[in-house]
Amino acid sequence: MATALKDFFVRITGPKSPLSFISSSAKSMLVLSAIVGVGAGLAAVFFRWMLDFFHVFFFVTLYGWLSFMGPYAVIIIPAIGAVLFGPIIYFFAREAKGHGVPEVMLAMERDGGRIRPRVALVKSLASSLCIGSGGSAGREGPVVQLGSALGSTLGQIFHLKDEKVKNLVACGAAAGIAATFNAPIGGLFFALEVILRDFSTRRIGNVVIASVTASVVAKILLGSEHFITAPAYSINSPVELLFYIALGLIIAPIAILFVRSLYKFEDIFDSLKTHDLVKPVIGALALGVIGLFFPQVFGVGYENIEGAVNATMLFHVILILVPLKMLAVCFTLGSGGSGGVFAPSLVMGSLVGGAFGMILSFVFPGLGIEPGAYALVGMAAFFAGSAHAPMAAFLIMFELTGDYLIILPLMLAVTITTAFSEKLHRESIYTLKLIRRGINIKKERVRDIMESIKIGEILGKMGASVLPSAPIDEIIELVEKENRASLTVVDSDGEYHGLITIDAIITLLRHSESLQYVVVAGDIAKNVPCIAESASLKEAMKSLVESGMDILPVVRKVDDGTKLTGTISKHDLLSAYRREVSVRRG
């Protein structure tokens, strides 16, 4: 399979291809991005079909087999699903547990974007079993992990550098969101805002290609209808804009409560003195008990969104479902289930927004308030508050509804919710999982730059050097001519012998009596620590600090010894770091 893919890749990117006017490197990434888009689009469609299949199996076929239990069968159906997906995660890919996106972020920060190929298969099967059997989770997290794993696998097959592998991972994440929600622009900004956390122009082009390609594939196979049918909307009074600001302020603490509750439940289940395979079953049984009385908590829950948006759900039911849906998600994912948190955020946001809209329409009957519009805005605001991703939330919701008139309320509520939630809680639902593992994304970004740049990549011209047999007069003359504070000592074969510094020369001249003997470079060369070409910026900076030198010889190990290839200074290291930061910012 890998060989066939490489052959196809060569034909597409060769000199006679339709893309011959593009540089070789850019052409390669363009083609790989399109392949990731097609693959992620097909994966999203296939995953959706798997969900439908397992939903029918568990709630039609299996429910029929358990008909002797009456309505109580729904209590054990999620537990049966847990018995099936638990071992798949435990034995084959434990990173498939939970909501997936933090695992992708971890791979981006720690592993150069490298994700094990098996994760895609395990995540798709485990999540479809979990959600299909009633697990209260979303389908976008698994698809993001599927697309990201596909992009990472392609990068590894073609032995690409870390930066390009990461770009393909982002392509896969964007493609997954685009195909799941028919939202190519939203998928793009999700990848840039959540996965890459980088809006530099050099990264955007490939992600756009993947996102659009995946959306086209999903449209061909699933149709192009909007995810939500939005009710007619208009602002009848400028006062309503204040209500949307109030909605943003209300949703922020609820979104943060959801984030904290999810990880609190993880801690509770982690502390249970029972085998990891039993924990998802316990969580599923608790979910089943809730579902017995309120089956709306089962599965992804898009029907709840329709009820809130179209104002067909009773007010008291909405109020009850908000905490119950939150509890159901916490039981599912906190116990070790597999699925996403995007869809649950949309569901809870729609319920909170819908309830708020109903209250307003009752208190201010003369304003002609549409509760459904507040449900729509609440969806975006809730996700923005929990994920700290305002642009992705705004654009995905806009694409889901296709309603231009709702842009202003969306922007107001999303901005207010994001700002308020960041004040209440620094970390998002994604980054908090990494913080709990001792990984700070902001610090990791600096670490990533320091370790991704290799010394061999920033070496300039070879500095001045002398032979070990060079006399002191020649050394002083060369120092004056080159205006350098140090000289390397290298023999005719390029073998490194040490470094002569100005301080060493001055010390020698102060003791002029020593000059009655023949003094050559080899006599005064200091054995300064060397650094290999393959060493990172971080290693070089550490060596400079520890040695107290301003310059380090850079060497390459060969069969017959150590060859000098250049020198590196603190100024060189800092300049390289600043250049890379500038490039990554675009």
Structure-token pair, residue 161? 């550098």
The larger pLDDT score, comparing residue 541 to residue 254, is at 254
* pLDDT grade for 210, boundaries at 50, 70 and 90: very high
Instruction: Please indicate, yes or no, if residue 490 is contained in any of the structural domains.
Output: yes
- pTM confidence score: 0.75
Ramachandran class of 299: left when φ > 0, alpha when ψ lies in -120 to 50, beta otherwise: left
* pLDDT grade for 111, boundaries at 50, 70 and 90: confident
Region 127-147: mean pLDDT is: 91
| Whether 251 and 161 share a structural domain | no
> CA-to-CA distance for 199 and 132, rounded, in angstroms?
36
Q: What is the CATH number of the domain that holds 547?
A: 3.10.580.10
Structure-token pair, residue 361? 């329409």
CA atoms within 13 A on the CB side of 355: 16
> CA-to-CA distance for 554 and 544, rounded, in angstroms?
12
Q: Rounded to 5 degrees, what are φ and ψ at 231?
A: -70, 165
CA atoms within 13 A on the CB side of 212: 8
* Last residue within a domain, chosen from 400, 416, 444: 444
| Whether 572 and 431 share a structural domain | no
Task: Please check the confidence at residue 360 and state whether its pLDDT lies above 80.
Answer: yes
* pLDDT grade for 586, boundaries at 50, 70 and 90: very low
> CA-to-CA distance for 445 and 437, rounded, in angstroms?
16
Q: Rounded to 5 degrees, what are φ and ψ at 459?
A: -70, 135
Instruction: Please indicate, yes or no, if residue 568 is contained in any of the structural domains.
Output: yes
| Whether 433 and 554 share a structural domain | no
* Lowest-confidence region among 134-143, 161-170, 173-182, 509-518: 509-518
Q: What is the pLDDT of residues 219-236, one digit of tens each?
A: 898 876 666 666 666 677
Instruction: Please indicate, yes or no, if residue 204 is contained in any of the structural domains.
Output: yes
* Lowest-confidence region among 193-207, 399-413, 425-439: 193-207
* Lowest-confidence region among 205-214, 415-424, 508-517: 508-517
Structure-token pair, residue 382? 């809730």
* pLDDT grade for 582, boundaries at 50, 70 and 90: low
3-state class (DSSP) for residue 107: helix
The predicted pLDDT at position 15 comes to 53
| Whether 120 and 37 share a structural domain | yes
The angle that helices 2-13 and 24-56 make with each other, rounded to 10 degrees, is: 140
8 Å CB contact between 168 and 113: yes
| Whether 411 and 513 share a structural domain | no
Task: Please check the confidence at residue 331 and state whether its pLDDT lies above 80.
Answer: yes
CA atoms within 13 A on the CB side of 459: 23
* pLDDT grade for 297, boundaries at 50, 70 and 90: very high
Strand bridging mode 551-558 / 531-532? parallel
CA atoms within 13 A on the CB side of 282: 16
| Whether 243 and 370 share a structural domain | yes
The predicted pLDDT at position 461 comes to 60
Q: Which of 321, 315, 329 is nearest to 286 (CA)?
A: 329
> CA-to-CA distance for 109 and 442, rounded, in angstroms?
10
Q: What is the pLDDT of residues 508-525, one digit of tens each?
A: 666 655 554 556 666 777
Q: Which of 141, 138, 148, 140 is nearest to 116 (CA)?
A: 148
The predicted pLDDT at position 583 comes to 56
| Whether 562 and 528 share a structural domain | yes
| Whether 267 and 376 share a structural domain | yes
Instruction: Please indicate, yes or no, if residue 3 is contained in any of the structural domains.
Output: no
Maximum CA extent, the chain: 109
The predicted pLDDT at position 137 comes to 94
Q: What is the CATH number of the domain that holds 422?
A: 1.10.3080.10
H/E stretch holding 465 reads: strand 465-466
Contacts of 1 (CB under 8 A, 6+ apart): none
**Gap between the terminal Cα atoms of the chain:** 36
| Whether 300 and 402 share a structural domain | yes
Instruction: Please indicate, yes or no, if residue 201 is contained in any of the structural domains.
Output: yes
Helix residue spans in 223-341 (DSSP H): 239-271, 279-293, 302-309, 315-334
Q: What is the pLDDT of residues 40-81, one digit of tens each?
A: 999 999 999 999 999 999 999 999 999 999 999 999 999 999
SS (H, E, C) 482-504: HCCCEEEEECCCCEEEEEEEHHH
8 Å CB contact between 230 and 380: no
* Last residue within a domain, chosen from 444, 468, 487: 444
Q: Which of 143, 126, 121 is nearest to 40 (CA)?
A: 143
> CA-to-CA distance for 566 and 552, rounded, in angstroms?
9
- How far, in whole angstroms, is CA 399 from its chain's centroid? 22
> CA-to-CA distance for 325 and 319, rounded, in angstroms?
10
> CA-to-CA distance for 104 and 141, rounded, in angstroms?
10
CB atoms within 10 A of CB 3: 8
CA atoms within 13 A on the CB side of 493: 7
| DSSP class of 563 | E
3-state class (DSSP) for residue 23: coil
- How far, in whole angstroms, is CA 242 from its chain's centroid? 34
CA dihedral sign of residues 234, 245, 187, 117: negative
* Last residue within a domain, chosen from 422, 444, 466: 444
Instruction: Please indicate, yes or no, if residue 9 is contained in any of the structural domains.
Output: no
Structural domain of residue 151, as residue ranges?
24-222
> CA-to-CA distance for 465 and 475, rounded, in angstroms?
9
Instruction: Please indicate, yes or no, if residue 232 is contained in any of the structural domains.
Output: no
CA angle 98, 251, 421 (to 5 degrees): 70
Instruction: Please indicate, yes or no, if residue 281 is contained in any of the structural domains.
Output: no
Task: Please check the confidence at residue 18 and state whether its pLDDT lies above 90.
Answer: no
8 Å CB contact between 573 and 581: no
Q: Identity (one letter) of the amino acid at 221?
A: L
Region 214-219: mean pLDDT is: 91
| Whether 427 and 466 share a structural domain | no
| Whether 200 and 111 share a structural domain | yes
Q: Which of 151, 84, 81, 64 is nearest to 114 (CA)?
A: 151
Give 526's strand partners.
499
> CA-to-CA distance for 486 and 246, rounded, in angstroms?
66
